[in-house]
Amino acid sequence: MLRTAATSLILLGVKVPAGGHQGMLTRFLKLLCRGLGHLVGILLVLWGVLAIYYSNLPSHQARLLLAAAFSGISIWALWVSRHRRAKAIFLTLFLAVAAWWILIPPSHDRPWRAEVAVMPRAYIDGDKVRLTGVRNFDYRSRNDFTVRYEDRELNLSHLTGLDFFVSYWREGWVAHTFVSFTFDDAPPLSISIETRPEVGESFDPIASLFKQFELIYVVGEEHDLVGVRTNYRGEQVYLYRLNTSPEDARRLLMVYLERINELADRPEFYHLLSNNCTINIIRYANAAGRAGRFDVRHLLNGLVDSYLYHSGRVDTTLPFEELRLKSWINSAAQEAADAPDFSERIRLSLPTVSKQAIEDARSDSTGAHSAGD
Protein backbone atom coordinates (compact mmCIF):
# COMPACT_ATOMS: atom_id res chain seq x y z
CA MET A 1 0.00 0.00 0.00
CA LEU A 2 2.81 2.41 0.89
CA ARG A 3 4.60 1.59 -2.36
CA THR A 4 1.42 2.22 -4.35
CA ALA A 5 0.88 5.58 -2.68
CA ALA A 6 4.50 6.56 -3.26
CA THR A 7 4.23 5.54 -6.92
CA SER A 8 1.14 7.74 -7.23
CA LEU A 9 3.06 10.70 -5.80
CA ILE A 10 5.87 10.10 -8.33
CA LEU A 11 3.33 10.03 -11.18
CA LEU A 12 1.96 13.35 -9.92
CA GLY A 13 5.44 14.82 -10.23
CA VAL A 14 6.34 14.74 -6.53
CA LYS A 15 9.98 13.82 -5.99
CA VAL A 16 10.32 11.06 -3.43
CA PRO A 17 13.86 10.54 -2.08
CA ALA A 18 15.22 7.01 -1.84
CA GLY A 19 14.09 5.37 1.36
CA GLY A 20 11.70 8.23 2.02
CA HIS A 21 8.49 6.64 0.79
CA GLN A 22 6.96 6.19 4.21
CA GLY A 23 7.92 9.65 5.45
CA MET A 24 6.56 11.30 2.32
CA LEU A 25 3.29 9.39 2.63
CA THR A 26 2.98 10.37 6.29
CA ARG A 27 3.43 14.05 5.44
CA PHE A 28 0.93 13.74 2.58
CA LEU A 29 -1.68 12.17 4.85
CA LYS A 30 -1.11 14.84 7.49
CA LEU A 31 -1.66 17.56 4.89
CA LEU A 32 -4.77 15.80 3.65
CA CYS A 33 -6.21 15.47 7.16
CA ARG A 34 -5.36 19.08 7.92
CA GLY A 35 -7.10 20.21 4.74
CA LEU A 36 -10.19 18.16 5.54
CA GLY A 37 -10.18 19.56 9.07
CA HIS A 38 -10.13 23.11 7.72
CA LEU A 39 -12.98 22.29 5.33
CA VAL A 40 -15.12 20.83 8.13
CA GLY A 41 -14.38 23.87 10.27
CA ILE A 42 -15.41 26.25 7.49
CA LEU A 43 -18.66 24.35 6.91
CA LEU A 44 -19.51 24.33 10.64
CA VAL A 45 -18.83 28.05 10.98
CA LEU A 46 -20.90 28.81 7.86
CA TRP A 47 -23.80 26.69 9.11
CA GLY A 48 -23.69 28.39 12.53
CA VAL A 49 -23.63 31.88 11.00
CA LEU A 50 -26.62 31.12 8.76
CA ALA A 51 -28.53 29.37 11.56
CA ILE A 52 -28.18 32.49 13.74
CA TYR A 53 -28.98 34.91 10.91
CA TYR A 54 -32.13 32.97 9.96
CA SER A 55 -33.14 32.24 13.55
CA ASN A 56 -36.38 33.24 15.28
CA LEU A 57 -34.98 36.41 16.86
CA PRO A 58 -37.34 39.23 15.83
CA SER A 59 -34.61 41.88 15.50
CA HIS A 60 -32.65 41.82 12.25
CA GLN A 61 -29.83 43.82 13.84
CA ALA A 62 -29.56 41.39 16.76
CA ARG A 63 -29.35 38.43 14.38
CA LEU A 64 -26.71 40.19 12.31
CA LEU A 65 -24.60 41.11 15.36
CA LEU A 66 -24.83 37.62 16.89
CA ALA A 67 -23.92 36.00 13.57
CA ALA A 68 -20.90 38.31 13.24
CA ALA A 69 -19.86 37.59 16.84
CA PHE A 70 -20.15 33.83 16.30
CA SER A 71 -18.09 34.12 13.14
CA GLY A 72 -15.36 36.15 14.85
CA ILE A 73 -15.10 33.87 17.90
CA SER A 74 -15.06 30.78 15.67
CA ILE A 75 -12.26 32.11 13.45
CA TRP A 76 -10.23 33.03 16.53
CA ALA A 77 -10.80 29.63 18.16
CA LEU A 78 -10.13 27.48 15.09
CA TRP A 79 -7.39 29.34 13.21
CA VAL A 80 -5.82 32.06 15.36
CA SER A 81 -5.54 30.91 18.96
CA ARG A 82 -2.89 28.33 19.96
CA HIS A 83 -4.61 27.67 23.27
CA ARG A 84 -5.77 24.09 23.70
CA ARG A 85 -9.12 25.15 25.10
CA ALA A 86 -9.96 27.36 22.11
CA LYS A 87 -11.37 24.50 20.05
CA ALA A 88 -13.41 23.35 23.05
CA ILE A 89 -14.84 26.87 23.28
CA PHE A 90 -15.84 26.70 19.61
CA LEU A 91 -17.41 23.25 20.01
CA THR A 92 -19.42 24.40 23.03
CA LEU A 93 -20.58 27.50 21.20
CA PHE A 94 -21.51 25.54 18.08
CA LEU A 95 -23.49 22.96 20.06
CA ALA A 96 -25.37 25.76 21.84
CA VAL A 97 -26.31 27.33 18.48
CA ALA A 98 -27.33 23.92 17.09
CA ALA A 99 -29.49 23.17 20.15
CA TRP A 100 -31.14 26.59 19.91
CA TRP A 101 -31.86 26.09 16.21
CA ILE A 102 -33.24 22.56 16.69
CA LEU A 103 -35.66 23.84 19.33
CA ILE A 104 -37.15 26.55 17.07
CA PRO A 105 -40.79 25.40 16.70
CA PRO A 106 -43.00 25.67 13.60
CA SER A 107 -46.29 27.53 14.01
CA HIS A 108 -49.71 28.02 12.42
CA ASP A 109 -50.03 31.41 14.12
CA ARG A 110 -48.31 33.92 11.83
CA PRO A 111 -49.46 36.78 9.55
CA TRP A 112 -49.73 34.61 6.42
CA ARG A 113 -50.03 35.81 2.86
CA ALA A 114 -53.58 35.41 1.54
CA GLU A 115 -52.57 32.63 -0.88
CA VAL A 116 -51.58 30.37 2.03
CA ALA A 117 -53.71 31.76 4.85
CA VAL A 118 -56.02 28.74 5.18
CA MET A 119 -54.85 25.23 6.00
CA PRO A 120 -56.99 22.65 4.20
CA ARG A 121 -58.52 19.70 6.00
CA ALA A 122 -60.12 16.46 4.80
CA TYR A 123 -63.10 14.62 6.29
CA ILE A 124 -63.30 11.05 5.01
CA ASP A 125 -66.46 8.96 5.22
CA GLY A 126 -66.08 5.76 3.23
CA ASP A 127 -66.17 6.63 -0.46
CA LYS A 128 -66.91 10.30 0.18
CA VAL A 129 -64.41 13.00 1.04
CA ARG A 130 -65.21 16.57 2.08
CA LEU A 131 -62.37 19.06 1.78
CA THR A 132 -62.33 22.47 3.42
CA GLY A 133 -59.99 25.31 2.53
CA VAL A 134 -59.96 24.56 -1.22
CA ARG A 135 -58.43 27.58 -2.98
CA ASN A 136 -60.41 29.06 -5.86
CA PHE A 137 -59.13 32.62 -6.35
CA ASP A 138 -60.08 34.91 -9.22
CA TYR A 139 -56.99 36.76 -10.51
CA ARG A 140 -56.77 40.13 -12.20
CA SER A 141 -52.97 40.27 -11.92
CA ARG A 142 -50.26 38.48 -10.00
CA ASN A 143 -50.98 40.42 -6.80
CA ASP A 144 -54.57 41.51 -7.39
CA PHE A 145 -57.11 38.78 -6.79
CA THR A 146 -60.36 37.92 -5.09
CA VAL A 147 -59.77 35.61 -2.15
CA ARG A 148 -62.08 32.62 -2.11
CA TYR A 149 -61.69 29.41 -0.11
CA GLU A 150 -64.40 26.79 -0.60
CA ASP A 151 -65.53 23.35 0.50
CA ARG A 152 -65.54 20.52 -2.02
CA GLU A 153 -66.90 16.99 -1.96
CA LEU A 154 -65.28 14.08 -3.81
CA ASN A 155 -66.31 10.53 -4.60
CA LEU A 156 -63.27 8.27 -4.48
CA SER A 157 -64.93 5.68 -6.73
CA HIS A 158 -65.04 8.29 -9.50
CA LEU A 159 -61.31 9.04 -9.35
CA THR A 160 -59.84 8.05 -12.74
CA GLY A 161 -56.19 9.06 -12.81
CA LEU A 162 -53.32 11.35 -11.95
CA ASP A 163 -51.63 14.18 -13.84
CA PHE A 164 -48.23 15.72 -13.11
CA PHE A 165 -47.23 19.38 -13.54
CA VAL A 166 -43.72 20.80 -13.84
CA SER A 167 -43.57 24.60 -13.54
CA TYR A 168 -40.39 26.60 -14.30
CA TRP A 169 -39.84 30.18 -13.20
CA ARG A 170 -36.70 29.94 -15.31
CA GLU A 171 -35.40 27.12 -17.49
CA GLY A 172 -32.94 24.89 -15.71
CA TRP A 173 -32.54 22.07 -13.26
CA VAL A 174 -34.95 23.42 -10.65
CA ALA A 175 -38.73 23.67 -10.91
CA HIS A 176 -41.92 23.35 -8.91
CA THR A 177 -43.92 20.15 -9.25
CA PHE A 178 -47.47 19.32 -8.23
CA VAL A 179 -50.25 16.91 -9.12
CA SER A 180 -53.90 16.86 -10.11
CA PHE A 181 -56.31 14.03 -9.41
CA THR A 182 -58.84 13.53 -12.21
CA PHE A 183 -62.47 12.41 -11.83
CA ASP A 184 -65.18 11.29 -14.24
CA ASP A 185 -67.88 13.26 -12.41
CA ALA A 186 -66.05 16.45 -11.38
CA PRO A 187 -63.20 18.79 -12.36
CA PRO A 188 -59.63 17.79 -11.41
CA LEU A 189 -58.36 18.60 -7.93
CA SER A 190 -54.84 20.05 -7.68
CA ILE A 191 -52.58 19.63 -4.65
CA SER A 192 -49.36 21.62 -4.47
CA ILE A 193 -46.76 21.19 -1.72
CA GLU A 194 -45.32 24.65 -1.02
CA THR A 195 -43.71 27.01 1.44
CA ARG A 196 -46.07 29.06 3.59
CA PRO A 197 -44.67 32.62 3.45
CA GLU A 198 -45.74 35.42 5.72
CA VAL A 199 -46.84 38.84 4.50
CA GLY A 200 -43.81 40.53 2.93
CA GLU A 201 -41.87 37.29 2.50
CA SER A 202 -40.85 35.63 -0.74
CA PHE A 203 -39.13 32.32 -1.39
CA ASP A 204 -35.41 32.18 -0.57
CA PRO A 205 -33.65 28.84 -1.22
CA ILE A 206 -30.97 29.45 1.43
CA ALA A 207 -33.51 30.55 4.02
CA SER A 208 -35.60 27.46 3.29
CA LEU A 209 -32.74 25.33 4.67
CA PHE A 210 -32.98 27.11 8.03
CA LYS A 211 -36.59 26.89 9.22
CA GLN A 212 -37.74 30.11 7.59
CA PHE A 213 -40.91 28.71 6.03
CA GLU A 214 -43.61 26.42 7.27
CA LEU A 215 -45.02 23.75 4.96
CA ILE A 216 -48.48 23.81 3.39
CA TYR A 217 -50.39 21.57 1.00
CA VAL A 218 -52.34 24.00 -1.15
CA VAL A 219 -55.51 22.28 -2.37
CA GLY A 220 -57.28 24.08 -5.17
CA GLU A 221 -58.97 24.29 -8.54
CA GLU A 222 -56.75 24.08 -11.61
CA HIS A 223 -57.75 27.46 -13.01
CA ASP A 224 -56.24 28.87 -9.79
CA LEU A 225 -53.14 26.74 -9.11
CA VAL A 226 -52.27 26.29 -12.80
CA GLY A 227 -53.69 29.51 -14.22
CA VAL A 228 -51.85 31.82 -11.81
CA ARG A 229 -48.57 30.29 -12.95
CA THR A 230 -49.22 30.33 -16.71
CA ASN A 231 -51.17 33.58 -16.98
CA TYR A 232 -49.83 35.88 -14.26
CA ARG A 233 -46.48 34.70 -12.89
CA GLY A 234 -44.96 34.02 -16.30
CA GLU A 235 -43.90 30.48 -15.41
CA GLN A 236 -43.53 27.81 -18.09
CA VAL A 237 -45.80 24.90 -17.21
CA TYR A 238 -45.77 21.34 -18.57
CA LEU A 239 -48.57 18.85 -17.96
CA TYR A 240 -47.96 15.10 -18.18
CA ARG A 241 -50.65 12.43 -18.10
CA LEU A 242 -49.37 9.62 -15.90
CA ASN A 243 -50.22 6.01 -16.70
CA THR A 244 -51.36 5.52 -13.11
CA SER A 245 -54.23 3.13 -12.48
CA PRO A 246 -57.33 4.47 -10.68
CA GLU A 247 -56.53 2.18 -7.75
CA ASP A 248 -53.03 3.63 -7.35
CA ALA A 249 -54.38 7.17 -7.77
CA ARG A 250 -56.86 6.54 -4.95
CA ARG A 251 -54.17 5.14 -2.69
CA LEU A 252 -52.00 8.18 -3.38
CA LEU A 253 -54.87 10.59 -2.72
CA MET A 254 -55.52 8.91 0.63
CA VAL A 255 -51.84 9.38 1.57
CA TYR A 256 -52.13 13.06 0.63
CA LEU A 257 -55.31 13.49 2.67
CA GLU A 258 -53.71 11.93 5.73
CA ARG A 259 -50.74 14.29 5.44
CA ILE A 260 -53.04 17.27 4.94
CA ASN A 261 -54.78 16.48 8.22
CA GLU A 262 -51.46 15.85 9.99
CA LEU A 263 -50.22 19.28 8.92
CA ALA A 264 -53.47 20.93 9.99
CA ASP A 265 -52.93 19.45 13.46
CA ARG A 266 -49.12 19.78 13.71
CA PRO A 267 -47.19 22.36 11.68
CA GLU A 268 -43.91 21.45 10.01
CA PHE A 269 -41.08 23.36 8.39
CA TYR A 270 -40.43 23.21 4.67
CA HIS A 271 -36.89 22.12 3.76
CA LEU A 272 -35.39 22.62 0.32
CA LEU A 273 -33.73 19.18 0.26
CA SER A 274 -35.75 16.90 2.53
CA ASN A 275 -39.30 18.26 2.81
CA ASN A 276 -40.09 19.83 -0.55
CA CYS A 277 -42.57 19.34 -3.38
CA THR A 278 -40.93 16.61 -5.49
CA ILE A 279 -39.32 14.62 -2.67
CA ASN A 280 -42.69 14.37 -0.92
CA ILE A 281 -44.51 13.36 -4.12
CA ILE A 282 -42.00 10.53 -4.63
CA ARG A 283 -42.23 9.58 -0.94
CA TYR A 284 -46.02 9.36 -1.06
CA ALA A 285 -45.97 7.50 -4.37
CA ASN A 286 -43.72 4.93 -2.68
CA ALA A 287 -46.17 4.64 0.20
CA ALA A 288 -49.01 4.15 -2.32
CA GLY A 289 -47.24 1.28 -4.08
CA ARG A 290 -44.78 2.81 -6.53
CA ALA A 291 -41.76 0.61 -7.23
CA GLY A 292 -38.60 2.54 -7.94
CA ARG A 293 -35.26 3.68 -6.61
CA PHE A 294 -33.94 7.11 -5.74
CA ASP A 295 -32.82 9.11 -8.75
CA VAL A 296 -30.81 12.34 -8.71
CA ARG A 297 -33.60 13.90 -10.81
CA HIS A 298 -35.80 13.74 -7.71
CA LEU A 299 -33.58 16.53 -6.33
CA LEU A 300 -32.87 18.25 -9.66
CA ASN A 301 -36.59 18.36 -10.22
CA GLY A 302 -36.39 20.47 -13.35
CA LEU A 303 -35.34 17.18 -14.95
CA VAL A 304 -38.04 15.07 -13.30
CA ASP A 305 -40.07 14.82 -16.53
CA SER A 306 -37.08 13.04 -18.07
CA TYR A 307 -37.17 10.64 -15.13
CA LEU A 308 -40.89 10.01 -15.62
CA TYR A 309 -40.31 9.30 -19.30
CA HIS A 310 -37.36 6.94 -18.90
CA SER A 311 -39.07 5.07 -16.07
CA GLY A 312 -42.14 4.50 -18.25
CA ARG A 313 -44.60 6.54 -16.16
CA VAL A 314 -45.72 8.72 -19.08
CA ASP A 315 -46.38 8.11 -22.77
CA THR A 316 -43.22 6.72 -24.39
CA THR A 317 -44.59 6.23 -27.91
CA LEU A 318 -43.22 9.68 -28.78
CA PRO A 319 -39.60 10.82 -28.48
CA PHE A 320 -39.12 12.66 -25.20
CA GLU A 321 -38.52 16.08 -26.78
CA GLU A 322 -41.71 15.76 -28.85
CA LEU A 323 -43.69 14.69 -25.79
CA ARG A 324 -42.29 17.65 -23.84
CA LEU A 325 -43.24 20.06 -26.62
CA LYS A 326 -46.80 18.72 -26.68
CA SER A 327 -46.99 18.92 -22.87
CA TRP A 328 -46.34 22.68 -22.72
CA ILE A 329 -49.71 24.22 -21.83
CA ASN A 330 -49.10 27.98 -21.47
CA SER A 331 -50.79 28.98 -24.73
CA ALA A 332 -53.82 26.78 -24.05
CA ALA A 333 -54.09 28.07 -20.47
CA GLN A 334 -53.89 31.69 -21.59
CA GLU A 335 -56.58 31.13 -24.22
CA ALA A 336 -58.80 29.33 -21.71
CA ALA A 337 -58.25 32.02 -19.04
CA ASP A 338 -61.33 31.97 -16.79
CA ALA A 339 -63.38 29.63 -18.97
CA PRO A 340 -65.42 27.05 -17.05
CA ASP A 341 -63.84 24.28 -19.14
CA PHE A 342 -60.27 25.43 -18.33
CA SER A 343 -59.14 21.94 -17.30
CA GLU A 344 -60.46 20.29 -20.45
CA ARG A 345 -58.91 22.90 -22.74
CA ILE A 346 -55.39 22.66 -21.32
CA ARG A 347 -55.49 18.90 -22.01
CA LEU A 348 -56.72 19.01 -25.62
CA SER A 349 -53.28 18.68 -27.23
CA LEU A 350 -51.88 16.19 -24.73
CA PRO A 351 -51.13 12.61 -25.77
CA THR A 352 -53.70 10.25 -24.29
CA VAL A 353 -52.72 7.50 -21.89
CA SER A 354 -53.24 4.10 -23.50
CA LYS A 355 -55.34 1.48 -21.74
CA GLN A 356 -52.43 -0.95 -22.08
CA ALA A 357 -50.13 1.46 -20.18
CA ILE A 358 -52.69 1.70 -17.37
CA GLU A 359 -53.06 -2.08 -17.26
CA ASP A 360 -49.27 -2.44 -17.10
CA ALA A 361 -49.17 0.08 -14.25
CA ARG A 362 -51.93 -1.84 -12.45
CA SER A 363 -49.98 -5.09 -12.85
CA ASP A 364 -46.76 -3.49 -11.58
CA SER A 365 -48.60 -2.07 -8.58
CA THR A 366 -50.23 -5.41 -7.79
CA GLY A 367 -46.85 -7.10 -7.94
CA ALA A 368 -45.28 -4.49 -5.66
CA HIS A 369 -48.05 -4.87 -3.07
CA SER A 370 -47.81 -8.67 -3.22
CA ALA A 371 -44.04 -8.47 -2.66
CA GLY A 372 -44.63 -6.12 0.26
CA ASP A 373 -47.11 -8.53 1.79
Confidence (pLDDT) at 298: 87
Q: Per-10-residue mean pLDDT for the chain, 373 residues long? A: 48 50 78 89 97 94 97 96 92 97 97 98 97 97 96 97 96 94 97 96 94 97 98 97 94 96 97 93 82 82 93 92 96 94 94 63 54 44
pTM, full prediction: 0.86
Half-sphere exposure of 371 (CA within 13 A, CB side): 9
Domain layout of the chain by residue ranges: 2-102, 114-372
Q: Which pLDDT belongs to residue 123?
A: 98
